Structure 1
Amino acid sequence: MEYKDLIRKKIGRIADRLLTVLFSICILIIVFISFQVTTFTTFHIPSDSMYPALQAGDNVLVNKWIMGVRIFNIWDALEDKEVKIHRLPGVGKIKRNDVLVFNFPYPAKKDSLAMDVMLYYVKRCIALPGDTLEIRNGFYRIRGTGEELGNMAAQRRISALTENDSRGVVMESFPWSKRLGWTIKEFGPLPVPAKGQVVSLDSISILFYQHIIRYEQKKELSLRDKLIYLGDSLIREYRFKENYYFVSGDNMENSRDSRYWGLLPESYIVGKATRIWKSKDPADGHIRWDRVFKKIE
């Protein structure tokens, strides 16, 4: 009887230890998931569109606190349903030249915005809500500021391109209008909308904003006899419901960014990429120690 009691006690102690370990693992998993959802998350860089700041094989930490955590129905997003995105208060603001991680806003077709929760891009913020952006001879300019924006070396390379020697780079740009003739070398001026800002609409300005007005209103927008209709209503101006940004890859000759697809809604932004926490060379799988915990600038 004493031997059986001893066995039972040992089994009981082992079971208690296993339950304690399992409980601890569950707590760690919950803490890790909560940390990922509310504070920082990590993303893998698959391409060289942000070279040299980021390289294929880098894994970056993304700070969600700056803009505030997004809250939305993940199941609706996965099923391609309309998603209402809410954001908790942030502790800072996005600045020009910050590197942002966001859901790509045009996964389906060029004339409509839709959030693909599984498709993320990393680009540099060039223009903020309320800015007026221009590209002159390949160089980014914000009216009223002399701040250097983006990768200056890449802009010098774009500046050197000509119509007869574009080196395979697509020169035509957003809003893809022959009437405007904008290119990635000569672009704008493009006023970037801020929440609450009112813009006058005409046959030119509608080219800039038609996609995001459709996105905000969930209605058809059309131009008839030089007049603009939202559904069946004639409109001559529009007040924006959301902030928008203009973003660019540092490797400008090989980057699908706002120069081609337009403006980025604030609600699609996950956060600011701050550091490279791990980096593996895709060619041989070796750790690139010189890039580990490197600050993203």
Structure 2
Amino acid sequence: MSYKFWQKNKTATNKKKSKTREWVDAIVFAVIAATIIRVFFIEAYTIPSGSMERTLMVGDFLFVSKVNYGARIPMTPIAFPFAHHTMPLTTSTKAYWDGFELKYHRLPGLSEVKRNDVVVFNFPEGDTVAVENQADSYYNMVRNMGRGVVRSTYTIIDRPVDKRENYIKRCIGVSGDVVSMKAGVVSINGKPEPLKATGMMPYQIDFKTKDVNFSVLEDLGVRTGEMQQIGNESYIANASPNIVDELRALDFVSSVKLSPTVLTQRETGIFPHDPNRVWNVDNFGPIKIPAKGWTVTIDSNNMPLYYRAIRTYEGNKVEQKGKQWYINDKPATTYTFKMNYYWMMGDNRHNSADSRYWGFVPEDHIVGKALFIWMSWDGEGSMLHKIRWNRLFSGIH
């Protein structure tokens, strides 16, 4: 027996890894490291639609921080690396196994979600049934939702929360806030909050002449191809406050004002899909956003607003028998929320599917905070103008 077993045996032959084994080890390590970074620290996203213009443009590539609000522990942990809900090059093959799911947990973060944060979250309508005939009563809708009856052309795909589509919007109201909107201007807790410099709204532009140099408007950021002519010298166009200021300075522009075509009648598809509320995309509320620990009275006025949060997001059985509501088979006159909720809206208010259509976003749907744009690609540009150089590595506010 050797008493110097701790010393290296010089006669022993060193077993070298094969090139294949080295490559496999390197790839496995890279995948694990990248997955950890993507899940717990930072992730790349791209902007596919114009709902956040001009804060975010179609073709912007951005990084989203998981650290700011605290990384969410994967609720569907068994999944194919770097895929979201479907396998690469497929449209229906699941990239995850939902036979094993974890409850919602989040690591400590640097801060809570704040008003005006630009937030990435999972689409909060995984099992929503869109009601085609809005004349139906709310209670019929509730019963249809409970039975899973689909009464429209929408395809309902009920994925796990963390495997639903990623959306990006601005947080207009946080839990506990009272949000409302009148003539296109949002109010939070009774205080008007006009759109910031980047937000887009429809404006009526009156020109002094029929001969308009539309290329000048394009240079200012107005999409002239989307303008709607309402008179010989008048048009409706989406613009931000900054663009409006520049338009008013043009010598061939007579006036620029918010479009008077703001709807006053009830609009189909608007949350909470209640025929007793005459709401539309420019006029709604007031609505109190649920907060963890807040107790709401359960009655015919409140249930259209909070039914989905109580039933779907917080996992309760909700029924109405006569005039009495039952939660988990027990008569209920109040309900105390278990999670915080948020109200999300796009800066391009008239081209955005947001909380006005599907209501509150629960905290377990929050993915992270948008930090900065690292690349911006203009699909309509030419040659070197394909890259929006002025947007590279710009912060998101």
If the TM-score is normalised by the length of the shorter chain, which range does it land in?
0.7 to 0.9
Query: Greater helix percent: which structure?
Result: 1
Taking the TM superposition and a 5 Å limit, the aligned residue runs for 1:76-95 are 78-79=96-97, 84-95=103-114
Are positions 1:136 and 2:182 aligned together? yes
Q: Deviations over 1:108-158 (max 9, x none)?
A: 324588626141101110000111111122111111545545665428778
Show the 5 A alignment for 1:251-290: 251-283=348-380, 286-290=386-390
Task: Report the Cα distance in structure 2 between the residues aligned to 1:159 and 1:187, rounded to whole angstroms.
Answer: 18
What SS does structure 1 have at the residue aligned with 2:163? coil
Q: Equivalent residue of 2:303, what SS?
A: helix
Per-residue CA deviations over 1:31-90 (Å, capped at 9, x if unaligned) read 332221111111111111111111111111101111111112234884566662211111
One of 334, 345, 348 as aligned partner of 1:248: 345
For 2:72, which of 56, 70, 73 is the aligned residue? Answer: 70
Find the aligned partners of 1:271 and 1:217 in 2 and give their Cα distance: 21
Which residue of structure 1 lines up, in the alignment, with residue 124 of structure 2?
Answer: 105
Aligned-residue CA RMSD (Å): 3.2
Q: Say whether the 8 Å CA contact 1:69–1:88 is kept in structure 2.
A: yes
Cα distance in 1, alignment partners of residues 104 and 324 from structure 2: 32
Q: What does residue range 1-297 of structure 1 map to in structure 2 within 5 Å?
A: 26-71=28-73, 72-75=75-78, 78-79=96-97, 84-110=103-129, 111=145, 115=161, 117-143=163-189, 145=191, 147-148=193-194, 152-154=199-201, 160-163=260-263, 173-283=270-380, 286-297=386-397
Larger radius of gyration: 2
Query: How has the CA–CA distance of structure 1 residues 163 and 95 changed in structure 2, closer, same or farther, with 3 Å as cutoff?
Result: closer
Q: Distance in 2 between matches of 1:101 and 1:192?
A: 19
Distance 2:332 2:259 in 1: 39
Equivalent position amino acid for 1:188 in 2:
G
Question: What is the TM-score with the length of structure 1 in the denominator?
Answer: 0.82
The 2-side partners of 1:163 and 1:92 are apart by: 38
Distance in 2 of aligned mates of 1:57 and 1:153? 18
Secondary structure of 2:312's aligned partner = helix
Superposed displacement of residue 261, structure 1: 0.6
**Percent sequence identity over matched residues?**
36
Q: 1:225 offset after TM fit, Å?
A: 3.2
> Bigger shift: 71-80 or 237-246?
71-80
For residues 182 and 80 of structure 1, the distance between their equivalents in structure 2, rounded to whole angstroms, comes to 38
- Count, aligned residues: 282
CA shift digits 1:177-233 (9 cap, x unpaired):
121212222211100011111111110101110001002453432333332222432
Stretches of structure 2 lacking an aligned partner (at least 5 in a row): 1-13, 80-84, 86-95, 130-144, 147-157, 204-237, 239-257
Query: Against the structure 1 CA distance between its residues 121 and 257, is the aligned structure 2 distance closer, same or farther, given a 3 Å change threshold?
Result: same
Q: Secondary structure at the match of 1:267?
A: helix
* CA distance in structure 1 between the partners assigned to 2:282 and 2:324 by the alignment: 31
Q: Does the C-alpha gap of structure 1 residues 269 and 119 become closer, same or farther in structure 2, counting only changes over 3 Å?
A: same
1:273 shift after superposition:
0.6
- Structure 1, unmatched stretches of 5+, are 1-11
C-alpha separation in 1, matches of 2:23 and 2:269: 60
Q: Is the 8 A contact 2:66 2:367 kept in 1?
A: yes
Conserved? CA contact 2:262–2:282, under 8 Å: no
